[in-house]
Structure 1
């Protein structure tokens, strides 16, 4: 019996029309790698970018054990755990929150969902080449609409041979062998408006100050309530950590808590804070929204909400973040938010948080402040 891909769920990540937990690229990766995977022993198979467990659990269903799995998004990682529990395969996999040498050390086969960013692919390929077994074979696949010929060249920087499979159901797999000249990931660095920014590949905004965040920072008031150890300012979906660093640099006594579900964003934020000398006053955690914060415990939340889930554009992420900000804000607390103007979030903010006024607007972005009822 084949693995029941249709039984996989995205939860606790967002679910909805057009958002699936497994696709044709997952099936093709498993099919193309099957004969090579059959020669793997325990702990010799690594899966990277497995959004909800289709690759790792599909391989486990076929008998693989000791599968190391890295998925950047925390909600995806939690979905893998939940899907493994339902399929009675939890003991076959080991989830690694960090993308580091431990994930690929000694691996003989790596299944990789190709990232959207070439720099992110370069980081993963370099890590595999540096730490996997000398005979490692990398099966890197995705939907053709998200692939480019440049991906072949990136893999070719770290492997002596790169082959391309036939396409199937608008998906394709690149097969890389012969690792050479590997390296561990390093963050990009830049100095912007007096701040040091750091970003590992795949972090929203990279090592720069995106236009929406710039507009938000320009309109934050010079004084804000809270900012204490008991009531830190909360930077939700922190990305490269620029908002937390900006607040801490400009308010030398302030305490900030930055959070993001992305492992690479958390690593980037920590690097940004260290580069600005404020790590001691800004806590960075990997969390779904504001998990871990008590109800009605905060005076200020800042937010530049994402609108991508993997390669899909969706309007379901922001309302989840708005609702959790409302949960954590005490009555009279403020959510400072910037968003792409065409998304028209003001009605959602009014409904989920409270009275909302526009603070600033330019041709692309709107800054609002919502007061908790």
Structure 2
């Protein structure tokens, strides 16, 4: 019986009319993978199959059913977002496939011995490069990557990235506005002629070194909004002994605060595993790892109500390929819950987004700290 994609849900991510937990690219990837596996002798066993960046579990669970995964031989899975990992777990329980998949960190153990790696193509070429490097260097010598995405998000540069680490890249015919790439003939020595991951860059003007895994916002750079914010943070609750870097990315704000204030402890949080790993490395590179704690979390879910005096935020406005202010609204509401009376949310945002009324409603009285032609920095105070 065909796998029931309609039974999948996006929860705990946003759900609603027109928001599906799988799409045509997932189904194309699975069909190309099955065709490739059937032509391979011997066929890959379930525990020789790895799934990476599957949004809500459609690829992993359909593959588990199609390739006969068991509790003893589960399919290994890595998803960057904690919400995706939770959606997979919930969908697996709903479909009685919970023991047939196992979530793992992005590390050599994830791909060790793998002969078939199924990847939902990331939009970030750096993310694809890091994944390809990992697979080529640590999977079985005969490993094959099958990666798929929507045509509107694919570029010829993806073929070039795969070609750095694999001797052959095949391109499928388009189907339902999707396409698959198949990479084979791994070249594990490619790293010798190409910078490996994670990468690092020193920024003398800020006195900071940034370390980044592939796909994290701004990479080893410092985006102009964060750069603007860093210059203003000296005024942010100057007697605070603890701060939160919400949606921390590579941890630049956390490292900057900890470097500038020897008496402060900073907790950095992000949904992305790659971001949290980067934030830890950035803290280490700047000598403040003892005062910066990086945690993967959905917003401030692990923080108690009215518990923090200072939260700093450069809110993202992309959710995968979609532009959405809903992410910022969620983070503002979380900050309003967690701030102690009199505590402050310091936020930098693109001025055209006009977040101030939303900040006033969800956090409290909001004052402008600084503004330039592109960005606004505000401080919102939680009322007593």
| Structure 1 ranges of 4+ moved more than 6 A | none
What is the aligned partner in structure 2 of residue 321 from structure 1? 331
Residue 50 of structure 1 corresponds to: 54
1:140-289 mapped onto 2 (5 Å cutoff): 140-182=147-189, 183=191, 185-193=197-205, 194-222=207-235, 224=237, 227-228=240-241, 232-289=242-299
Per-residue deviation, residues 259-305 of structure 1 (Å, max 9, x unmatched): 11111111111111111100001111111101211111100100011
- Post-superposition Cα deviations, 1:231-269, rounded to whole Å, max 9, x if no partner, equal x20110000111011111110111111111111111111
Distance in structure 2 (CA, Å) of the matches to 1:222 and 1:317:
26
Write the distance in 2 (CA, Å) between the matches of 1:204 and 1:226. Answer: 30
Is the Cα–Cα contact under 8 Å of residues 358 and 369 in structure 1 kept in the other structure?
yes
Please tell me whether residue 95 in structure 1 is matched to residue 103 in structure 2. Answer: yes
Q: State the match for 2:4 in structure 1.
A: 4
- Retained in 2: the 8 A contact 1:244–1:257? yes
Verify the 8 A CA contact 2:82 2:273 in the aligned structure 1.
Answer: yes
Q: CA deviation at 1:33?
A: 0.9
Distance (Å, rounded) in 2 between the aligned partners of 1:115 and 1:273: 26
Report how far residue 160 of structure 1 moved: 1.5
Contact map agreement 2:45 2:67 (CA 8 A) in 1: no
- Residue 326 of structure 1 deviates from its aligned partner by 1.0
Partner in structure 1 of residue 78 of structure 2: 70
The within-5 A match list for 1:97-136 is 98-136=105-143
SS at match of 2:188: coil
Q: Is 1:342 matched up with 2:352? A: yes
In structure 2, distance between residues paired with 1:68 and 1:124: 14
Deviations 1:47-85 (A, max 9, x none): 001011110011122243211111101111111111111
Query: Tell me, which stretches of 5 or more residues in structure 2 are unaligned?
Result: none
Q: In the aligned structure 2, how far is the partner of 1:311 from the partner of 1:185?
A: 24
The alignment partner of 1:279 has SS state of coil
- 1:31 — aligned with what? 31
**Aligned CA distance change for structure 1 residues 114 and 216 (closer, same or farther; 3 Å):** same
Question: Cα deviations across residues 95-135 of structure 1 (Å, max 9, x unaligned)?
Answer: 01x21101111111110111112222111111101111112
Partners of 2:100 and 2:37 lie apart in 1 by 15
State the match for 2:94 in structure 1: 86
| Equivalent runs, 1:302-321 vs 2, <5 Å | 302-321=312-331
Is the CA contact (8 Å cut-off) linking 1:44 and 1:108 kept in structure 2? yes
C-alpha displacement at 1:17, in angstroms?
5.1
Contact 1:36 1:109 in 2 (8 A): no
1:192 to partner: Cα distance: 4.0
CA distance in 1, matches of 2:273, 2:219: 14
Question: Which residue pairs with 1:15 in the alignment?
Answer: 15
CA distance in 1, matches of 2:186, 2:145: 10
Given that residues 127 and 185 in structure 1 are in contact (C-alpha distance below 8 angstroms), is that contact kept between their aligned partners in structure 2?
no
- How many residue pairs get matched? 369
Q: 110-119 or 45-54: which moved more?
A: 110-119
SS of the residue corresponding to residue 290 of structure 2 reads helix
